[in-house]
Amino acid sequence: MSLEAPRRRYTVEEYLRMEAESEERHEYWEGFIVPLSQLISMAGGTYEHSLIGTNVIGSFRDALKGSACRAVGPDMRVKLPRKLLYFYPDVSVVCGEPVFDPEGGRRTTLLNPRGILEVISPSTEAYDRGKKLVKYLEIESLEEYVLVAQSEPRVDTYYRSADGSWAFGVALGLDTNVRLRSLDVTMPLREIYAGVEFPPEEDEAPQPQ
């Protein structure tokens, strides 16, 4: 299925029923259903994508120990409360008591994430920084949206300021740390990218004539 040419529209009830019976997960965009496997394949390979997500979960487990916050992986679905949208973020962080969508089944769909993290590649960057970013920032409980690049050691953060506006931060290079302000957590990029092999850098400088 293509994001540009989706098939027929489905109701939320049809989507949730299909999702409960399916072995594959799907995201739901206001009537259109997108297989998660398609989005992962767009990310340029499942191994690096999964490894980075696993590393982040491990870092969160240590960094959030003793706090009221917990990190969960890509099996946890997130719904936008005022939209007909259901996503499966790579990592979600909830602080305090989790609130679940009563329509989504027993504790399967989170409504109040404080932080959301997505692993991106050059082929999914426009999607994660564009349509998905705009939708995620509508979640009232969300205080930070984190994009972890797959092809280079780079982590970008969009975080909610005290006045409600959104600000941007970036951490670049394996010897740097990323500060997640909403969680009071600092993560070394070397830890996030442990075991990841990056593709060789391409020389983008113009060649002499």
Residue 78 to residue 85: CA distance in whole angstroms: 8
Its CATH class, for the domain covering 44-192, is alpha beta
**Looking at residues 14-38, what average pLDDT do you find?**
87
Contact 54, 110 (CB under 8 A): no
- What proportion of the chain, given as a percentage, has pLDDT over 70? 88
Q: How does DSSP classify residue 169?
A: E
Confidence at residue 95, expressed as pLDDT on a 0 to 100 scale: 97
**Looking at residues 185-206, what average pLDDT do you find?**
83
Partnered with residue 115 across adjacent β-strands are 93, 144
Secondary structure class of 146 (helix, strand, coil): strand
Residue 49 to residue 2: CA distance in whole angstroms: 21
Residue 97 to residue 83: CA distance in whole angstroms: 22
pLDDT digits (tens, 9 = 90+) for 66-120: 999 999 999 999 998 777 899 999 999 999 999 999 887 778 999 999 999 999 9
Q: What is the mean pLDDT of the chain?
A: 87
Q: How far is CA 173 from CA 94, 127, 152, 159, 208, in A?
A: 28, 23, 8, 20, 29
User: Dihedral (C-alpha) 2, 155, 81, 20: value to the nearest 10 degrees?
Assistant: 50
Taken in order 170, 139, 187, 43, the sign of the CA dihedral is: negative
User: Dihedral (C-alpha) 70, 75, 109, 18: value to the nearest 10 degrees?
Assistant: -170
